[in-house]
Amino acid sequence: QGKILMKSKPMMDKRSSLCYTCHEAFGDQIEKSAAHKPVKEGNCEVCHDSHGSDHPGFVKLSAPELCTQCHTVDSTLKAPHSGYDIAKADCLECHNPHLSSAPKLVRNNVHPPFAEGSCDDCHEQAPDGTVELVDNMTELCSVCHDAVSKELTLPELHSPFEKGECTSCHRVHAADQPKLLKAETGTLCFGCHENLRKADTLTAVHSPFADKKCLDCHTPHGSNNAGLLTQPKENFCFEC
């Protein structure tokens, strides 16, 4: 009769039953962790557009515009952020929008200076109030990460690493992934190596590639071997 019918009952339960028809694993995690209020109440549509969006993850707006629809940026919110102006900050650099085992939904893997509140190890406040790095990223990260200087001397370098663009792969404050990576390895690598994505659909796919275990074969920063391989090509395949 031309009527639009909903596949499942409306999204009113604690576990938003319609969304979790597909996002089942995510729903199970919510039972085990502290959840963002809209998530806990099953109100996915507060942040997400169910049909489509111009923003990743089907969100209605990017952060911080989306976050400030509910969270007012005032002195109350500024105080726990060491007094820095966060009106234009990317909230997702530190906070998980859905759930976390840490207070205030801070992502579970935390950069030590951030955890210790030592913001001035990396940042300084400019005269106009904006927050700046105390040095270029390569020099700054090298202060604690001794391996960086040594890896930069290798003959084959990953382009973002060579350019000092650490934040292409890593978050600087907190992350859900080990090593402060922005995403799981496969998702992260495909973000730049889009040309390889089609190989994932071929009939015969190399097992590490199919499992998105890029680091089984490649090093993330630099290597003595072409293609950032972990071993010389002469004996590389025989490792497995």
Q: How confident is the model over 5-55, as pLDDT tens digits?
A: 554 444 445 446 788 888 877 777 777 678 899 988 888 899 999 899 999
State the pLDDT at residue 3. Answer: 57
Average pLDDT taken over every residue of the chain: 87
What mean pLDDT do residues 213-237 have? 93
DSSP letter string, the chain: ------SS--S-SSS-TTGGGT-HHHHHHHTTSEE-HHHHTT-GGGTB-SS--SSGGGBSS-TTTTGGGTS--SHHHHGGGTT---TT--GGGTB-SSEESSGGGB-SEE-HHHHTT-GGGTEEE-TTS-EEESS-HHHHHHTT-THHHHHTTSSEE-HHHHTT-GGGTB-SSEESSGGGBSS-HHHHHHTT-GGGGGGGGSSS--HHHHTT-GGGTB-SSEESSGGGBSS-HHHHGGG-
pLDDT, tens only, 106-161: 999 999 999 998 988 999 888 887 788 999 999 999 999 999 999 999 999 999 99
